Structure formats: structure tokens, C-alpha cells
Copies of this chain bind each other. A is one copy, B any other.
Amino acid sequence: MDAERWDEIVVLQARVEQEVGTALQRRHGISLSDYRALRRLAEAPGRELRMQDLAALTGLSQSAVSRLIVRLETAGLARRDLCPDDRRGVYGVITDDGLHRREEARATYQTALSEALAEAAADPAFASVATGLGHGGPDG
């Protein structure tokens, strides 16, 4: 991986994330980070995650997650819960409304993502990197 290729990936990702994020915001009123957090919470055992784990799974900082969960809480899509055994810890828990919203947004996310990637692959500037991304590591 050289810097040139990395820079292409970065620009490609900016474009794709932009499109998907706009679609989520317009149709479901949530941001990309909101959606991804909801998804991680929904799939977590007990529908809950510690702030740190949510940060690791979303690629955000601790403080970003702290504010993200406040947003979700305000929207009624998640709530915070204290950790019983370690009272420094805080769980983010997805609510039924949150689960519902995530289900609604799911198809939008996947469709918008596919479309954005297809557009990128059709653009000569990204054709190579867009198709290359699809291929996995040593396993194929």
C-alpha cells in the first residue's frame, strides 16, 4: 500500500460516506455515527455495550461516544445504564424505539452504500480502488 493509493481510498470514502450519511439523515433523521452505534448496540448481547467498547467498534473517541449517547438518549433511541459491578462504567442500551429505527434505516444504509460504491466504480478516477476494495485479504 503506497500513499497514493491510500489517498485515493480516503477521497473515495469521503464521497461514499457523504452520500450514505445524507440518505440516512434525510429519510430517518439520524447521522451515520448514530446509525452505526445503533447497529452495534442492537447486535450486542443484552443490547448493551460499555462506552469504551462502543468507541472501539465505531472508531470514535471516548468523548465522542459520550456525546453520541446523549444524542441518542435525547431522541429516545438509547439510554444509559450504570454498570453494577464497576460503578465507573456506563452502559449504552438501545431502546425498542432505537431497535425499530435501526430496522427502518437498515435498507437505506445498504442501498445507499451499494449505489454510492457503484457510482464510484463507474468514475474513472476511482474505478481501480473501488473495485479493489471488494476483495478480501489472503482468504479472498
**Which of A's residues lie within 8 Å of B, judged by CB?**
1, 3, 5-7, 9-17, 36, 57-60, 109-110, 113, 117, 127-139
Contact = CB atoms under 8 A, between A and B. Distances in A.
Contact of A139 (B3, B128, B133): B128
A112 to B, nearest CB: 10
B136 A132 contact: yes
Main secondary structure, interface of A, reads helix
Contacts of A128: 136-139
Contacts of A13: 9-10, 13, 59
A12 B1 CA distance: 14
Contacts of A134: 1, 5
A127 to B, nearest CB: 7
A123 to B, nearest CB: 11
A20 B122 CA distance: 30
Contacts of A9: 9, 13, 133
A81 to B, nearest CB: 24
A7 B16 CA distance: 12
24 contacts: A1-B117, A1-B133, A1-B134, A5-B134, A6-B113, A6-B117, A7-B36, A9-B9, A9-B13, A10-B17, A10-B59, A11-B57, A11-B58, A12-B59, A13-B13, A14-B60, A128-B136, A128-B139, A129-B136, A129-B137, A130-B137, A131-B137, A132-B133, A133-B133
